[in-house]
Structures are given as structure tokens and as C-alpha cells.
Structure 1
Amino acid sequence: MTAGRGGTPPPSLDDPCAERGPAGELLHRRRPLRGGEPCDLDVFLTGQVFMDMIFTGLPGLPPPGTELVTDGLGSAPGGIANIAVAMSRLGLRTGLAAAFGDDLFGAYLWRTLSEQENVDLRWARRITGWSTPVTVSMAYGSDRGMVTYARPLPSAGELVTAPPDAATCFVHIDRPVPDWARAARAAGALVFADLGWDPTETWSTDVLDRLDHVDVFLPNSVEAMAYTRTGTPEEALAALSARVPVVAVKQGSRGAIAVDAATGERAAAPALPVTALDPTGAGDVFAAGFVYGTLAGWSLAHRLRFANLCAGLSVRHHSGSLGAPCWGEIAAFGETGEVPAEVLEQYAFIVPYIPETELARGAGSVTRAEPTLRQGAL
């Protein structure tokens, strides 16, 4: 990204609440309550990991009794791993508590997340005799069909009994906010939350009561309007801002809008003007960018722009964690000529945060980790 080094300057090295992350970027750090030392993690999250297998280049779904052959096959950690990978690729120190099967897929996912994607799995567990959940996605045109296999997780006790030392944590309020997240918030961590589609389509407003334990809420516009019984994203944003300090409503190709109820700051940012190949996981990538921008101490408007940038880069690739951008892709994007210079200039505030090694590489040598199932991978 070569739009220049204007915009918000990075925080000073003299700032006692500042620290360099593993990718070299300088992040604002909250002062932890335990001894004044930097937090062990930037973000901590829990959830279910899936083995995602994505077939691409199909003319459609195979009719009964037929077979389709394609040369496009990718594999990647899915489920909660989508957002864990997106955060880790931005250099955030990411901890994940999840269950993994003791089969070949579980071993592949564990190795990919811990060794290739640098996700901290100290709180994860391999479950003996349990099969790793698998989702097969068949992408054709701008649509897709999916098949998922998942066995119930045997009772194995809580993965997290006490919260780790993390600056932020990420939860889904489809279910009650876990005790560990409430404890982390009491200790000073910021709780970010999202929620998914309600398969019953009852959109119980009781779900929103869980926002009492949340600091930042990141729903999409359809969910936000359904739960608040409103007719526009703007009305939904206003209703939600009465319940939680910071709300950002994702609107897909229309960008995102947000409000900080504590400061009164309001912001809107357009989506990145790129051709979308696959929007799967874009919301998770948006959330990763918003968490990063929050830790960097950016304005609400800059957080939205960066989150939209990350999400926009991700939809140019097939599926969740495969599409999450690394800093090399962010740095190279400004050299691709995909957007006009006047648009690119609006992202100039990001440049001081790009590791110097990635700026030096240029567009010709983007490093992108793409876990792909191939001979010998397991």
C-alpha cells in the first residue's frame, strides 16, 4: 500500500500502555490489572473448529446418480478458526479454546493452526474417540451448496475454567456469555461479540439481554434489524447503541455503520470496491480488523475502513480462513491498481502499521499461507 504515511500516527514508544506485536506493528495496550505487565494475549476466543473442504470450478451441484470432476480443491480450518486465523494473520496474539478429534483431520487442523497460522492452542483439547466435524462446500458461480458432518461432543468438562490474560475476548451471543468472558471483562478485557442466523426465525429479543456483558457488538444488518424489530440498519444501530457501548453494523456491499455511545462518535465507511468471489467468512474477517483497529487506538471511522478493507480483500478468495488477508496482501493491495488513487488515499492511515518487511517486498512477493489438502498433507 503506497498511499503515503499520512493519517493517524502510531502511538509513541514511550507510551507505557504500548507494545509491539509479533508482526512488528505498534498497538495501544491497555494496562493490565496484574503487575502492570503486557497482556499474554491480544484476543482469546472459544468455539467449534471444522475441517472445511471446498470444491471450486463446478458448473453446479451434481444431479443424483452422476459424478462431477473438478481440478479445484482447497481445505482449511473452519468454524471459529475462521476468525482465529484472520486475527493471527494481522499479528494479533490469538488464543483459542476448542475441541479437536483424534483423527487425521483433527491432527491436520491442530498442526495448521498452531504451526502454520500461529494460533495459541494451550486451551484446546484433543478428544479421544471423537470425529472432527467436516463441512464440504461445493462452489458454483456465485452460489454454493454445503454438507456438514458433526457428531455431538462428548461431555469432557469445560475447556476454560479461568480466563487467560487477554486484552480482548470474542464471543457469540447466540448462547449466554460464558463465565470466563464475564470474569475477563471484570479484569479489564474488552468483550467483542457477534451472533449468527436464527434458524427458528423467531429472533427472540431475550438474546439482546446478553449485551449487558458486551463492550463491542458487530452484527450484520439483517440480524440487527430482525432482533431489534426495526426497518433500516440505521434504526437498528440506534436501538442497539442504547444497549452496548460500541456497535458496528455490517451491510455487505454497502459497507458498515457504527456508533460509540460513550463518546458520541458516529461513522460510516463504504465497502472496498472489489469484485467478490466468495463472501464466506467476510464477517469474521471484518471482526478481526475491527479488533485490531481498537487495540491500535484508531478512531471509529478508521476502524470501520480497516475492517472493510480486510473483509474486501478476503472475498476475492474462496472460503473463510483461506481468504483472510495477511499483511503482505494488505501492503501489496495499493500497488495492484484495483482502486483509484483517491480511494486508496483514504487508507493511508494504515501504512505506518504495516511491517517494514512487507512494505519492502512489494506486490510481487505476497506471502499467503493457504492450508490446502494435497497428497501427503495428512
Structure 2
Amino acid sequence: MDVICLGILVADIFASPIDSIPEAGHLKLTDRLLLNIGGCAANTAADLRRLGRNVKVLGKVGEDLFGDFVLKDLERLGVDVSSVKRSQKHPTASTFILNVRGQDRRYIHCIGANADLTFADVDCSALDGARALYVGGYMAMPGFGSHDLTQLFREAKKRSLTTVLDVVIPAGNLLSPEQIESMLSYTDVFLPNDDEAYALTGLREPAAQADFLARLNPDCTIVITQGSRGALARLDREVLHASSFKVNSLDESGAGDAFAAGFLTGLLEGWSLECTLRFASAAGASCTRALGCTTSVFGFEEAVAFIRENPLEIKRMTPAVKP
């Protein structure tokens, strides 16, 4: 097993892009409504499979049709779902994603069974033999707090796994520097986007955000994604900023998870930070070409060919503060 993906599992319902929001009491037509797997753990696992990795998912779904769909679709892709739990209290998490042309996406979300997940649901033997542990959607799983994360990452470290953390930060859910330091203490790679990094640090510029986070754990690779503005990565004194690949973008949902899958692939391959950042950027860009979080993500050879044919500017930067 290459990677264990633990975190939020969601059934996503996407509306094809529309021109405007309907007024109250009005009906608006769209070309398509698509049911797809979603949530950081499910998306990243599916993308890793497309990139040729063996993956197991840990998480929780409800005893319902959406739960059946999520598990069957992951199985169809070759993801091991044998350790996914079923909640007896909550339905499967679900999200309705509304795309309006020229505007950012709108979400209506039911947190569902993701609220139930705790460290007690994790069979740590599932970590045996894996090379990396990815936790996606941390801070959006109410039952999975800092103590749960610390216990899980300690178990991963006992088995010499690389630990990768991604967060989803609900509005108003802020952490103190001490809480952030605790969150990063067993984390090898931290993958927030710039909005999430702002919520954690209070700083607007990604370079300053990375400086702040690097001081809390100098051994942690900090990677801050910026959507169409690219991504910044910092490890010790090496700081890189990648621009973004140009593709015909339809829907940006899941792009951060595809980026995470690409970054994990680079870690497993033992590539340099620059090569890993370039590959992750290609995977993230590929995700935006179709409706749905995982529909159009590159396979490994597709990504390599795309990178060969499409140069990406990556600049070296000087860190403002030594960690």
C-alpha cells in the first residue's frame, strides 16, 4: 500500500454552469446535474489511483444510498474501502455545488457522517506497510480534534510513514499559534490554500504565511496553493513559487485535492521540491477541465507528457525569516 487517505467523504451533486441565480420561486435549467464522489479524502484517493498508486481510504459514511454510491465508486476506481465505517446516527455527507459563469462556486453542505469520525474509528493496523498518510478535511470533522490527529500521526510515525495534512477551515474557526504548532508537530507536509493560511496566520501574503508556519515546525514542508495564481512551497531555506498551467478551465472543484495527489506522487517518487511542485501543479490544473472533482485528472503518463509540452515558470525566493 502506498498511501492511506483519511478524512471527509462526500457525495457531490454538481450543476453545470448557469448564467445567473434564479429568483425566488423561479426555475432555472442547466445542461446537467452530476453525482460524483467528493471530499478531500475521497478525491485525493481517486486521483492517486489515476496516478498509479495503491490507496486505502479511512473515513465514515451513512447507511444510505449516497454512502453506497461513494463506496462503490471508489471501489470501481480500485481504492480499498474495507476500513471505511458506517454511521448509525448520520447520513452520508453531501454537497450541492452551484456554478454561475464568471463567479466563484456556491456550496450547500450537509456535514453528515463526517461529524462522527474519531480516532477510535481508526484501525491502526490499516497503516501497516503504507508509505504515507494523508489527512484531508481536518477542522471540518467535528469529532476528530487535535488529540485525535496527534494520536493518529504518532501511530504513523511509529511506522515511519510520511504525514501529509490538509485542512478545511469553517468561517470563524480560528486557532491560536500554540494550537497550530501542536497541529504541525507530527506533520511532514502541510497543504493549506492561501485563504486557509490567512485564517491560521492572519497574514495575506503566501510567503509571509509560509514564514509564520515554518517557524512553528522548521522540518515541515509548507505548500500554499493559490488557485490560478499558482502555488508556493517552502522547505527549510528553499522557497519556490510556481505559476499556474494554462488549461481550458470549466470547474475548479477538487483542484486542491488533485494538487495534493500530485504532490504525494512526487514524495513517493523521491523527486526534488521543484519537480514535485511542477507535477502537483499539472495534476491540479488537469482537474479543472471538466465538471466534477475527479473527472478529468491526469494519469501519470498524461501528466508527464503535459509537463514536457507546457513549460511552467518556477521562481526561487528568499525566505524573509530563517525558521
TM-score bin, normalised by smaller chain: 0.7 to 0.9
Tell me, what secondary structure is at the counterpart of 1:285? helix
Q: More deviation in 183-192 or 266-275?
A: 266-275
Which amino acid counterpart does residue 51 of structure 2 have in structure 1? Answer: L
Residue 251 in structure 1 maps to residue 226 in structure 2: yes
Deviation at 1:229, TM superposition (A): 3.3
Larger radius of gyration: 1
Task: Note the C-alpha offset of 1:328.
Answer: 6.1
Pair 1:120-2:80 in alignment = yes
Residue 168 of structure 1, aligned match among 132, 137, 142 = 132
State the secondary structure of the residue aligned to 1:148.
Answer: strand
Aligned amino acid, residue 311 of structure 2: V
Spell out, residue by residue over 1:198-245, the C-alpha distance to the aligned partner (whole angstroms, 9 max, x if none).
411645334312101111111222322442333421122122222332
1:98 to 43, 48, 59: 59
Task: Report the counterpart of residue 241 of structure 1 in structure 2.
Answer: 214
Contact 1:123–1:159 (Cα < 8 Å) also in 2: no
- Are positions 1:291 and 2:259 aligned together? no
Most deviating of 285-294 and 59-68? 59-68
Looking at structure 2, the residues matched to 342 and 81 of structure 1 have their Cα atoms a distance apart, in angstroms, of 28
Cα deviation code 1:233-288 (max 9, x no counterpart): 11221222223321112122222222222xx4332222112243222221111111
Partner of 2:2: 42
* Corresponding residue for residue 311 of structure 2: 343
In 1, Cα distance between equivalents of 2:196 and 2:19 = 31
1:289/1:310 contact within 8 Å kept: yes
- Establish whether residue 65 from structure 1 lines up as the match of residue 25 from structure 2: yes
1:103-143 CA distance string (max 9 Å, x none):
222222211101x2111112112345753222122212033
CA shift for structure 1 position 75: 1.5
SS of the equivalent of 1:75 reads strand
Asked if the contact 1:81–1:321 (Cα under 8 Å) also holds between the matched residues in 2, the reply is: no
Verify the 8 A CA contact 1:99 1:124 in the aligned structure 2.
yes
Question: Greater RCO between the two (CA within 8 Å, min separation 6)?
Answer: 1
Q: Match of 2:121, SS?
A: coil
Cα distance in 2 for partners of 1:145, 1:128 equals 29
**1:153-232 alignment runs, 5 A limit:** 158-163=120-125, 164-165=127-128, 166-172=130-136, 173-174=138-139, 175-176=145-146, 177-200=149-172, 202-209=174-181, 210-232=183-205
Indicate the SS of the match to 1:141. coil
With the length of structure 1 as denominator, give the TM-score of the two structures. Answer: 0.71
Distance (Å, rounded) in 1 between the aligned partners of 2:192 and 2:89: 36
In the alignment, is residue 85 of structure 1 matched against residue 60 of structure 2?
no
SS in 1 for 2:249: coil
1:298-317 paired onto structure 2 within 5 Å: 298-317=271-290
Assess, with a 3 A threshold, how the Cα gap between structure 1 residues 148 and 345 changes in structure 2: closer, same or farther: closer
Structure 2: how far apart are the matches of 1:232 and 1:134?
Answer: 32
What is the DSSP-based 3-state SS (H/G/I as helix, E as strand, rest coil) of the residue aligned with 2:131?
Answer: strand
**Larger mean Cα displacement after TM superposition, 148-157 or 42-51:** 148-157
Question: In the alignment, what sits opposite 1:362?
Answer: none
What is the CA–CA distance in structure 2 between the aligned matches of 1:344 and 1:145, rounded to whole Å?
A: 30
Q: What is the rounded CA distance, in whole Å, between the counterparts of 1:87 and 1:259 in structure 2?
A: 23
The percent identity for this pair of structures is: 29
SS in 2 for 1:158: helix
In 1: Cα distance, 2:289 partner to 2:307 partner: 15
Deviation at 1:318, TM superposition (A): 2.1
In structure 2, relative to structure 1, the CA distance for the partners of 1:241 and 1:178 (3 Å cut) is: closer
**Which whole-Å CA distance do the structure 1 matches of 2:175 and 2:187 have between them?**
19
Partner of 2:319: none
Instruction: Describe the shift of the 1:91–1:104 C-alpha distance in structure 2 as closer, same or farther (beyond 3 A).
Output: same
What stretches of structure 1 of length at least 5 have no aligned partner? 1-40, 336-340, 347-378
Distance 1:161 1:242 in 2: 33
Match of 2:66, as an amino acid? F
